[in-house]
Amino acid sequence: MLSTTATLGFAPPSTTQQQLNTGVHYAVSNPLEPKFNEAGYGFRGAYFEVDSPKIVSQYSQVVWPGGGLPPVELPADVVQKFDNKTIFITGWEVDIWRDTPSGHVSVPCYESYNHHYVSYLKGKGADLEVRPRNPTEAPGPYGHGGPQHVFKDNGKGSGKWPTNHAFSEHNGNEHRQTYHALANGFGVALESPTHFVFNPMQINTRNPDGSGERCGEACPLPRRQNAWKGAEWSGLLECPCGSRMIKTFDHHLVRDATPCTYNSTIPDADECFAAAAEQLKSADLQNITVSADASLPAGCSVQPGTPRWIATFNKPAVPSSATSCADVPGGGSCVCRAPTGYINGRRFDAGCIGEPRSELVKDHNPTCDLNLYDGGMNCCGGLDPNSTKRFLLDAEQPIPPLVDEVYFRWRFYYEDEAGVTTPPRETYHVEWQFGHIEYSVPKAPEGTPPEQAVHTITSNFTVADMVTLYGAQCGGSVGCDEWGKNNGSRPIQFLMLGFHCHSPACLGGVLLNADTGEEYCRVTAMAGHSAKPQDEEEYLWLPPCQYGAKEEGLRTPPVVNMSTKLRSIKWANSSVAHFGVMAIWQGRAAYAVD
């Protein structure tokens, strides 16, 4: 860990850039003029650096600590300098490193893939409690589905400035090449900084032969994954639900004029009779197994009998019985698998949002239904039933023994009240997800021309949704408390808008004013061209939209009200199916001033 002085600002000559990620040319999606992207955008102020705890794993292992990684102390000189004072973070950079006998090296993302992270800076005025996710409850609206970091006021802060702040913008594999900074006059305020708090979801995709070469076809993959033969990206990064992931289902009674739909037919007699007893709240049933009875729907059904209810498991015929649940004799019902349940003992209850804010329910997207769910965070989050670790290979596939050790290096750029004429204005987090934190992209119909294999998803929402989804993601000050409670009387201005989506499917997204059609931000995914770290072929990054002053090469910040209606569209390549992709706007904003 170290701290030093930088001489960077917006759009500096490339020869003066002193950035952490030396191989990256930072650009934005909405430069005032192309020349500013050609020169590259940089950072301003002094900086300090901090390393995460080491992340140790084997091939196909997912490291996503349920209790978070241990907090890390900030450099002593920074802590001392800002004791009872306020630091203003103006930008940050992130990289993944590995120590070698000849020094540290930047790790290519095809060896260690960051699905996402959550990160915070904590001050002495806050105490931290990390609450692991309760496996019997659906994921809460925090931590990208991981543990909840709760910061509590301990009375050591002034109450004027925040004592904790999250840094959750562009927080996935795009983190290294995607620009994180705020325009002159704006910052992320923190009083008496003391600790860095970090929790990643990291997937080991390193070639287990130790050669340092990209995996290619030699590396094992589970049967259920989407990477095509010869792909430069690993099918592991989409968190496929391999045979180590054991689903158990809730059940419900269905009287619809259809059979059990969306793959929810109960497949065996034992599950049928147990589910029937549970739904009828009676163990005193007459259990019958029949084969291809055309008078009954396939699978499990119940009907009144004398003197007991009758539970029947009807072995499906080929083709399956077309009899509907409404045809069960005596006003009975089908017993179907519900869209909720558990994966390896962790609760699955997607709670997808319906129209107009999301199309996921209308389209019956697999991310909303355990019967259809084939991959995503729920299969990266569940422990292996035969291990205390998480592996994405199938149960019969041996885990390669090679152990890898990596860590994150963060650099925070900052100003302070003594170093500027006017303290930067505070900024707060804004975010919106398209109805759920992740979703699945279906494969385009066979024969679709490659250029037309594009899946779209649309969300209609308001600025208030972006402000209140996760609130300010800070605490310890009146400003943090009031941000998420904005009653609409104070307009805000966007300063940073980033689009979080995943390799290799993401093509980009656009954010529009739904009433006027004004385009606030359009992000096109960028891909690398080689095997070099920070330029990896088929792995993506997403230049954000940045706003500020013309002198900085930035466009004027758009001012919006809480009631402003927004529409967003996301595009994804659908030449193959994709699991667990995301479509999330993340950014920072401030109250507008006259």
Instruction: Give the tens place of pLDDT for each residue, 539-550.
Output: 999 999 999 999
Measured at the CA of 148, the angle between CA 474 and CA 237, to 5 degrees, comes to 105
**pLDDT of 13 over the 50 cut:** no
User: Can you tell me the mean pLDDT for 118-127?
Assistant: 97
Q: What is the mean pLDDT of residues 131-140?
A: 83
Q: What is the mean pLDDT of residues 197-203?
A: 96
Stretch among 257-266, 466-475, 483-492 having the lowest mean pLDDT:
483-492
* Chain position carrying tokens 């994180």: 180
At 510, the pLDDT band (50, 70, 90 cuts) reads: very high
- Residue 146 — pLDDT band, cuts 50, 70, 90? confident
**For the segment 318-331, what is each residue's pLDDT rounded down to a tens digit?**
656 678 999 999 99
Q: How confident is the model at residue 564 (pLDDT cuts 50, 70, 90)?
A: very high
Residue 491 — very low, low, confident or very high, per pLDDT cuts 50/70/90?
very high
Give the pLDDT confidence score for residue 427 in this predicted structure: 95
What tens digit of pLDDT does each residue of 240-269 get? Answer: 999 999 999 999 999 988 889 999 999 999
Residue 446, pLDDT score: 94
Q: What is the reported pLDDT for 485? A: 79
Work out the percent of the chain whose per-residue pLDDT is above 70. Answer: 95
This prediction has a pTM of 0.94
Q: Given this model, what pLDDT does residue 139 score?
A: 77
Residue 435: per-residue pLDDT: 87
CA–CA–CA angle 36, 39, 40 (5° rounding): 85
Q: How far is CA 84 from CA 1, 71, 197, in A?
A: 22, 20, 20
Mean local confidence (pLDDT), 552-571: 96
The distance from CA 549 to its chain's CA centroid, rounded to whole angstroms, is 31
Alpha carbons 209 and 400: distance in angstroms, whole number:
8
Confidence of residue 396 (pLDDT cuts 50, 70, 90): very high
Are residues 508 and 524 in contact, defined by beta-carbon separation less than 8 angstroms? Answer: yes
E strands, 142-293, in order: 148-153, 164-166, 186-191, 193-204, 247-254, 286-291
3 contacts 48 by C-beta, under 8 angstroms: yes
> 385 vs 544, which has greater pLDDT?
544
Using CA atoms, how far apart are residues 75 and 355, in angstroms rounded to an integer?
48
**Encoded tokens for 80:** 């001392």
> How many CB atoms within 10 Å of residue 212?
11
User: Mean pLDDT over residues 296-319, rounded?
Assistant: 89
Is the pLDDT at 335 greater than 60? The verdict is yes
- 418 pLDDT tier (thresholds 50, 70, 90): low
Environment class of residue 58 by beta-carbon count within 10 Å: exposed (0-12), middle (13-18) or buried (19+)?
middle
The identity of residue 362, as a single letter, is K
- Four-CA torsion 218, 219, 220, 225, nearest 10 degrees: -110
* Predicted local distance difference test score (pLDDT) of residue 17: 46
All structural domains of the chain with their residue ranges = 2-209+401-591, 247-343
What is the residue-averaged pLDDT of the chain? 91
Average pLDDT, integer, range 144-149:
85
